[in-house]
A and B are shown apart, each in its own frame.
Chain A
Amino acid sequence: MRSSRGTALTAAALCVAVALICFVSARSFLAMRLPDPVAPAQGFERYNLSHWFPALKGSPGDSDVYIQDSGVPGGTVFIMGGTHPNEPSGYMAAVVYLERAKVTKGRLIVMPFANATAMGHNSPQEASPQYFSLDVDGGTRWFRYGSRATNPVYQWPAPDIYIHAQSGQKLDGGSKSNLNRAYPGVPDDSLTQQVAYGIIQLLNKEKVDLAFDLHEASPEYPVVNAIVAHNRAMELAAMVSMELEMAGIPMRLEPSPVNFRGLSHREWGDHSDALAILMETGNPSQGRLRGKTDAALAVTGKDKAYLKAAALGRLFIPYEGDQTLDLRTARHVTSMKMFMDMLGDVKEGGDVEVEGIPSFDDMMERGIGAFLSPVEDDRFDGK
């Protein structure tokens, strides 16, 4: 078959084929950049990150930020999902707050999709699903499943080595597009560094008292089902961790490592007055041991390779065949609620009261979809 002759004609035919393949796949890639519609609860006002860092205005990284002010003096809590859009329980927990919260004391700021461009593409060779769906009352909600990294088209080429600007710490070049290695950010560097800078501005200008960065980790990674707390937040985190243990939702408590720079739980705490908390749940669909990779895996966490790995004692979460998005999101939602309930105990005048948040058992029983509102979604007409 090697002997098949190649001529200018076959080359021209291949050019047509290349053009066709580029066209079809480009449509699929570009469609993913359309944002996921959300239905904020009453009282939320929409802003963009550029409100706090104007240089981001009009850039693809200018992520939406929602603020609900109860009008009653109290503290300010910041909830951020979507640092890593391949970790869906992080942004789904933020979305649950965005669509359910009724703030009765203090203020709540929600930034559901922090790294906006990372939501809009997938990492090569990860074979991630582009979307997953949840049943909600009266319809279906679609959410994108993105990438760990900022979309490379906005900061290409990646350097060979990423040097964290403030510490000189060296990481592999790909880490330059990892939002959670970029803090406290640089105002005139790549998009990821600018977004990080904008978030630090937000934390300071809004005088945030308590800030969450919501993640997931591979089940085989030691820091999973865990709370990572800045040293100033350790006392509060320890109280919450004990409370969670009693409620039967154990979350390990880990201090933020001092010598690893650029991470939210370290730099937020060092560069603002916020008590910085990062939380991780266990997500089989991002792990290196996972088998067949699709939207179902993201939602159910059912995977036979992880089951085998669990039997081998390789995992850091209890795994009995699944790890649903409902469970993972409920962990985040419930943990945050406990943090907020206790915030006033450690920070005078920092009370924040939020109503309307479903309980852990409700979410496990009815699924998180039951607590989301139906929305118009042009992307999936008739699907």
Chain B
Amino acid sequence: MATEPVLEVADLCAAYGRTPVLRGVDMTIAKGEIVSLIGRNGVGKTTTMRCLIGLLPATSGQIVFLGQSITELPADERARLGIGYIPQGRQVFPRMTVEENIAVSLLASPGKDRRLTDLVYQYFPILKQRRRQSAGTLSGGEQQQLAIGRALVGNPRLMLLDEPSEGIQPSIVDMICEVLKSVRDQLGTTILFVEQNLDTILAISERCYVIDKGAVVAEIGRDRLRTPEVVRHHLLI
């Protein structure tokens, strides 16, 4: 496993208006790692992700991506540097087709590598079948696949996924987990994902950060992750 960090987050703080929500998030993620971020409802998981992609400004702290500080960069520049964002609730463009949803991200990326579209259709054959259908009419599971595929065509070095299993049937969740693993294995993509579903956490994460009240309070390493009780304990603190 390479050790060069892809993402280093130091003492990240953020607020909605005057209400502080993040009070010191620290993480370091190495190239090719699959790391999960867990915690109870409302502790700031989504806020952390929005801060990392740049949809919410940091009030203090540092975000370093591939050795470059991105703390002050707007979201579109971060995306073009190689961060793919798959938000909670998927947020596909409802009145555009599957194909167009994917094209948005492809056209916006600096590489514009059209072969990635074929790769996405290989990973998610259902998207190819439905490519002319408007995204708003897809099922939840299909929209999740689209949100992931859409991020993938931007050729990200780091993917941020916010609860990819939320509201999706187990067989599709398994399939998505398999795809994420192959993405990492074939493309070397680093993955950080927020999750509350114990099975998904255990299935693919190699390391895990626990967040509570806006701060990272624990890190669960490879060895302790093999014991589900440890993770379950942290999901319920």
Answer yes or no: are A and B bound together in one complex: no
Question: B residues touching A (Cβ–Cβ < 8 Å)?
Answer: none
Question: A residues touching B (Cβ–Cβ < 8 Å)?
Answer: none
